[in-house]
Amino acid sequence: MSKNLGQLDRMVHGAYEAGWTTDIESDTLAPGLNEDTVRFISARKQEPEWLLQWRLKAFRHWQTMVHPEWAHVHYPPIDYQSISYYSAPRRPGEGPQSLDEVDPELLRTYEKLGIPLHERAALAGVAVDAVFDSVSVVTTFKDKLAEAGVIFCPISEAVREHPELIRKYLGSVVPFRDNFFAGLNSAVFSDGSFVYVPKGVRCPMELSTYFRINARNTGQFERTLIVADEGSHVSYLEGCTAPQRDENQLHAAVVELIALKGAEIKYSTVQNWYPGDAEGRGGIYNFVTKRGIAHENAKISWTQVETGSAITWKYPSVILQGDNAVGEFYSVALTRGMQQADTGTKMVHVGRNTRSTIVSKGISAMRAENSYRGLVHIGAGAENARNHTQCDSLLIGDRCGAHTFPYIESRNPSATVEHEATTSKVGDDQLFLCRQRGLDPEKAVSMIVNGFCKQVFRELPMEFAVEAGKLLEVSLEGAVG
């Protein structure tokens, strides 16, 4: 075991250096999408032939697919030829060897976003693999992770350094045929994170990636792959922010989680991309495919707080493949202004004694539309499977919408599925009580909403929970009154 760890250690370090020398000269690719675009991206990343072929296969298949229309969201057609599919920060000379060498401009932007990278990483014990415009800029806490044998690196680096793992798992949970956006992502994915936690290892710290979209007209196509080997445990945090911008930006990420026998993966997201202005202009289009596969006795838990983006189209799902596997989905989705969210989860029960829990809280204010869309599927072999789903919606104002579209399919007579959904508003009596105690209406609403979301927030790692609460408060500004 220790020998293995040593090898991994070396691999991790080696990969790090190699990772930087290749991407530096890259520049933003002119808008447009064809096979040459795919070849360009692959070449820039010095990818092996098999990966290029995989991308091309994905691209050819994607061309035959039709844009999905079923979600309860409305937006003008996207011109995929007007998007630039590759962009990397331009820097002269050698790549940064340490934080000091990172472009101070980038670091300042992070600070503006409230992410004091090194401080935060040091204080919170969080290793940050920051993705800035598609290419990883800095990774910290390598040593500590390497000691445990954990691989945490940009996926482009993992392709070169751990091809056997990438080849085995990439596309194994979300194949490129899965859906339109997953197909697109498979063809042109820019970068993302790769995590491998070896057998029996409990990852010594929470892993965190901060995504940002910066350059104009640049679609971002993250690809995240997390493999938790037998009996391991990892908690992964993903947070997103973006500066104001005029044009709609496309973001089509794919996240694949593999929890092998007895492993546990906890994946938390706080998403706060630019939602567009009061009239709904601008704002990010967030079309994400997230799915995990839980083998025997494994557990996958998704927690998400979605407050940003003009459009959110996202269904973090779990395939409960092995016996006794557990899947969880905790979600808060807040939409305001002209935001539209169609989000939920799929729990596909295959193994025996599989259990899943879904808690979804949707908050809709002003002229926003918020939909929960979920699937609970109990396969014929899922003896004694169990699901409990709770979807609550809160409406603030009479111009918004809150919707629930749950699909429940069962083929096993021993399974138990429970689904409940409620819709309510911030009660006048609740508001009155708070105001009587001296709280202004905005504070009062924010407090009530926080209470409404508590069930989900307590699933978040502590610092994320604080951030999420703050986010809601900021997002609700001006939504009440």
Residue ranges in contact with other proteins by CB under 8 A: 70, 378, 380, 393, 395-425
Residues forming beta bridges with residue 237, ordered by sequence position:
208, 268
- Taking the complex as a whole, the smallest distance from the CB of residue 419 to other proteins amounts, in Å, to 4
Q: What is the DSSP string of 314-332?
A: E--EEEE-STT-EEEEEEE
- Mapped onto helix, strand or coil, the DSSP state of residue 155 is helix
In terms of CB distance, is 72 or 233 closer to other proteins? Answer: 72
Give the span between the Cα atoms of 112 and 134, in whole angstroms: 19
Give the span between the Cα atoms of 411 and 190, in whole angstroms: 40
Which amino acid is present at 339?
Q
- Taking the complex as a whole, the smallest distance from the CB of residue 295 to other proteins amounts, in Å, to 23
- Taking the complex as a whole, the smallest distance from the CB of residue 442 to other proteins amounts, in Å, to 17
Return the closest-CA partner of residue 68 out of 333, 408, 279, 342.
342
- Taking the complex as a whole, the smallest distance from the CB of residue 40 to other proteins amounts, in Å, to 35
In terms of CB distance, is 266 or 373 closer to other proteins? Answer: 373
In terms of CB distance, is 254 or 402 closer to other proteins? Answer: 402
Residue spans of beta strands (DSSP E) within 115-263: 127-132, 135-139, 151-154, 193-197, 207-212, 223-228, 233-241, 249-251, 254-259
- Taking the complex as a whole, the smallest distance from the CB of residue 396 to other proteins amounts, in Å, to 7
Half-sphere exposure of 170 (CA within 13 A, CB side): 28
In terms of CB distance, is 57 or 419 closer to other proteins? Answer: 419
Q: CB neighbours of 76 closer than 8 A, spacing ≥ 6? A: none
In terms of CB distance, is 272 or 364 closer to other proteins? Answer: 364
- Mapped onto helix, strand or coil, the DSSP state of residue 110 is helix
In terms of CB distance, is 163 or 401 closer to other proteins? Answer: 401
- Taking the complex as a whole, the smallest distance from the CB of residue 381 to other proteins amounts, in Å, to 8
Give the span between the Cα atoms of 472 and 171, in whole angstroms: 34
In terms of CB distance, is 209 or 356 closer to other proteins? Answer: 356
Work out the number of other CB atoms within 10 angstroms of the CB of residue 398: 6
Which residue's entry shows tokens 């790769």?
194
Work out the number of other CB atoms within 10 angstroms of the CB of residue 443: 15
In terms of CB distance, is 21 or 422 closer to other proteins? Answer: 422
In terms of CB distance, is 200 or 401 closer to other proteins? Answer: 401
Number of residues in the chain = 481
Give the span between the Cα atoms of 294 and 353, in whole angstroms: 13
Give the span between the Cα atoms of 374 and 405, in whole angstroms: 6
Give the span between the Cα atoms of 191 and 212, in whole angstroms: 12
- Taking the complex as a whole, the smallest distance from the CB of residue 191 to other proteins amounts, in Å, to 34
Give the span between the Cα atoms of 105 and 278, in whole angstroms: 29
CB 226 within 8 A of CB 264: no
Residues forming beta bridges with residue 348, ordered by sequence position:
319, 377
Give the span between the Cα atoms of 20 and 6, in whole angstroms: 22
In terms of CB distance, is 38 or 395 closer to other proteins? Answer: 395
- Taking the complex as a whole, the smallest distance from the CB of residue 393 to other proteins amounts, in Å, to 7
- Taking the complex as a whole, the smallest distance from the CB of residue 332 to other proteins amounts, in Å, to 18
- Taking the complex as a whole, the smallest distance from the CB of residue 420 to other proteins amounts, in Å, to 5
In terms of CB distance, is 293 or 366 closer to other proteins? Answer: 366
